Amino acid sequence: MLVKWIRCTVTDRRGFERGQRKWAGLLGEPGFRGQSGGWSRARPGVAHVFSFWESRAFYDSFMARSHDRLAAAQAGTHRDIQVKLFDYRFDVKTGFEPRFTDADVVRVAHCKVHEDRVEHFALMQEKVWNPAMAGSPGMVRGLFGEAPGHEFIVLSMWQSAAEHGKYRVERVERLTLRAQTAADVAALAGDVVDLESTWTV
């Protein structure tokens, strides 16, 4: 599965949201698995969109054919757009699927990892972080993905910001030490996103 993460700064909120609903046109696309997104809780005006495809080939075909027509509805409503593609590696918890109806919040963590620490980083995600997140009340599902250049994404869906907040306060510092995250990660960026149900396809 291919994961696409889009982040941008919105300059015309109403126009952007109107355009976002036009992405319902994705439903007929071969290989399309699902899409949703919402607003950053920490950065006013920053929008995130997460899109899922069966494979890179299906995604490339869509980009060549239909993308520009759908994207035209949002022209001029945003700036500073950043797009990243990741290959799905494994689930956080079990049975990831791109469904958004049972989650209110998505936490996205984007990690650039030192080349010689990639295997350790992935192992710690599997052995330390995944069980901790999977055991947290309110955590619905998630995934771990990889991009060229030793970049990784951890997406986790939560029933509410309050549930995610409890997990953060109680666990993160201890887990960071146990997983030796500081030695693995060269750069870490993240956000907590309030999902907008009207953006879900």
Angle at 142 between CA 138 and CA 145, to 5 degrees: 155
Q: What is the rounded CA–CA span in Å between residue 95 and residue 142?
A: 9
When computed from its CA atoms, the radius of gyration of the chain, rounded to whole angstroms, is 17
Average of per-residue pLDDT across 81-106? 95
Report CA-CA distances (Å) from 177 to 6, 39, 170, 173. Answer: 30, 30, 13, 7
Q: pLDDT tens, 32-77?
A: 999 999 999 999 999 999 999 999 999 999 999 999 999 999 999 9
Q: What is the rounded CA–CA span in Å between residue 93 and residue 126?
A: 10
Q: What is the average pLDDT score of the chain?
A: 96
- Strand (E) or helix (H) holding 134: helix 130-134
Q: What is the rounded CA–CA span in Å between residue 144 and residue 21?
A: 27
Residue 170 has pLDDT above 80, yes or no: no
pLDDT of residue 166: 87
Domains of the chain as residue ranges with CATH: 2-199 (3.30.70.100)
Residue 127 DSSP class: I
Residue 179 has pLDDT above 80, yes or no: yes
* pTM of the entire predicted model: 0.95
Residue 117: how many CB atoms within 10 A of its CB? Answer: 17
What are the residues whose beta carbons fall under 8 Å from the beta carbon of 17, sequence distance 6 or more? 196, 198, 199
